[in-house]
Structure formats: C-alpha cells, structure tokens
C-alpha cells in the first residue's frame, strides 16, 4: 500500500476508504492528490481564484469520501466523472454564494442536505428554527472545548464509527467514545448558552 498516486486505481481507493480504520486517511489523501488537477478547471472554466477553486475541490473530495464510506457511490459512472460532476456543481454554488453572502469562506450545503431528508411539510418549520448566525457561534465554541474533544467530534462528523474512533484515538472502548462525545457536545451547548 505505497502512496503511489498514479498507480493506485479507483477501486483500490474506494476499497481503502470503505474499510475505514487507520488506513482510511491514507486513501483519502491519495484520492485528493489523484484528481487535484481539476482545481485548474475551476479557475479556467468557472473563473474562481485558485484558493476558491481549491476549497471547492476539498469540499468535493469530502463529499465523495462521505458517499464512498457510506457505500452510496454505486459505480454507475467512473470515479473521475463522479468527482468532476460534484466539483462543477460546487464551483457554481461557490459563485452563487459569493454574490449573495460575502462572509464565510468555508460554506457548505449541509443544512439543505439534512432538511431534504425530512418530510416535505416539515421543511419550512425546521428551516425557521435554524438561526442565521448559530453556525458561527458553534464553530467558535468548538475551538474552546479542548483538543481531544475537538478531534472526537470532528471524527464523528467524518462518519467514523465509535469503534474506529476508539482505535484511532486509543480509547478503551466504543462505549467510552460515545459517552465522551456526549460530554463534549454538552460542553459546546454550555458555551453557546444552551443551544
């Protein structure tokens, strides 16, 4: 399992990410490097700056990793085409967000992704409960909960199972990870004055 980007085929990368655990990060980095040439496309085709295009590309790779890890990438198209389609959409979204909301650099579409999973008649109700600047406050609180808590919740957000986190962060069991994570999220709630 050498980090030889050119020779590692897509199936190996997907298998490595799906397997999870300690090796997953290795394949994530290979995936990132293998298609990083698309960043230039973001610059030339969508007129983004190189920094903006590289953020859109990083966001793309994270989405692809999430889909592969959840086994939602069904191999209907080749991985390159799949990544390119997502990346193109992210570039378009990036331009749209730039013109409507000039603040945050690392914008993501997570709210819409989750709301779409709810029944249609609940979309508006939940949307109204989501406060505009809450994300900023939560991110500030995340930076104050300590390094171990931070790593714990970040890895939870990446989709690692409690068992995998226990192995990577040397906790004694998945149960301990779960309890610790709850404690860390409570810390976030306290810091933002009750979420």
Partner 1 sequence: MEEIIEKYFSDTLDEKEKAEFELQLRADQTLAREVANYIQLKQALKQELLEVRHTEWQQIKPVKKLNMPVVYRVAAVMVAVIGACWFWMHSASPSLEEHANLYIKENFGQRSIQMGAARDSIQLAVSLFNKGELAESRDISEQLLNAHPENAELLELNGITYLRLHEFEQALSKFKKMEGLDLYDNPSVFYQAVTLLKRNEPLDSQEAEKLLERVINENLGEKKAAKNWLLNK
Q: Name the residues that contact partner 1, by CB under 8 A.
A: 1-3, 7-8, 11-12, 15, 22-23, 25-26, 29, 32-33, 36, 39-40, 50-51, 53-55, 58-59, 61-62, 104-108, 110-111, 114-115, 117-119, 121-122, 125-126, 129-131, 134-135, 138-139, 142, 147, 151, 153-154, 156-158, 168-170, 182, 185, 188, 195
Q: How far is the CB of 135 from partner 1 (least distance, A)?
A: 5
Q: How far is the CB of 167 from partner 1 (least distance, A)?
A: 9
| 59/82 with CB nearer partner 1 | 59
- In angstroms, the CA 44 to CA 64 distance is 23
Q: Which residue has the tokens 């990346």?
A: 87
Tokens representing 52 are: 């903006």
Cβ distance 17 to 62 under 8 Å? Answer: no
Q: How far is the CB of 58 from partner 1 (least distance, A)?
A: 4
Please report how many Cα atoms fall inside a 13 Å half-sphere around the Cα of residue 130, on the Cβ side. 13
Please provide the size of the chain in residues.
Answer: 195
| 26/84 with CB nearer partner 1 | 26
| 71/80 with CB nearer partner 1 | 71
Q: Residue 151, class by beta-carbon neighbours within 10 Å (0-12 exposed, 13-18 middle, 19+ buried)?
A: middle
Q: How far is the CB of 182 from partner 1 (least distance, A)?
A: 7
Q: How far is the CB of 136 from partner 1 (least distance, A)?
A: 8
Whole-number CA gyration radius for the chain: 18
Q: Which of 69, 27, 58, 30 is nearest to 164 (CA)?
A: 69
Q: Which residue has the tokens 């939940």?
A: 126
| 95/153 with CB nearer partner 1 | 153
| 40/80 with CB nearer partner 1 | 40
């Amino acid at each position: 399992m050498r980090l030889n980007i050119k020779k590692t085929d897509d199936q190996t990368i997907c298998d490595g990410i799906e397997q999870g655990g300690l090796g997953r990060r290795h394949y994530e980095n290979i995936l990132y490097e293998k298609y990083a040439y698309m960043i230039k496309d973001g610059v030339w085709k969508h007129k983004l700056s190189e920094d903006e295009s590289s953020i859109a590309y990083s966001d793309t790779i994270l989405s692809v990793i999430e889909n592969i890890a959840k086994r939602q990438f069904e191999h209907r198209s080749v991985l390159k085409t799949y990544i390119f389609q997502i990346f193109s959409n992210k570039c378009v979204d990036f331009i749209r967000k730039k013109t409507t909301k000039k603040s945050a650099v690392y914008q993501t579409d997570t709210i819409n992704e989750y709301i779409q999973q709810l029944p249609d008649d609940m979309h508006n109700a939940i949307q109204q409960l989501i406060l505009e600047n809450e994300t900023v406050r939560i991110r500030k609180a995340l930076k104050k909960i300590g390094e171990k808590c931070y790593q714990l919740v970040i890895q939870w957000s990446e989709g690692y199972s409690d068992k995998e986190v226990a192995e990577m962060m040397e906790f004694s069991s998945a149960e301990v990870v779960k309890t610790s994570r709850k404690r860390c999220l409570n810390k976030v709630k306290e810091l933002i004055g009750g979420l």
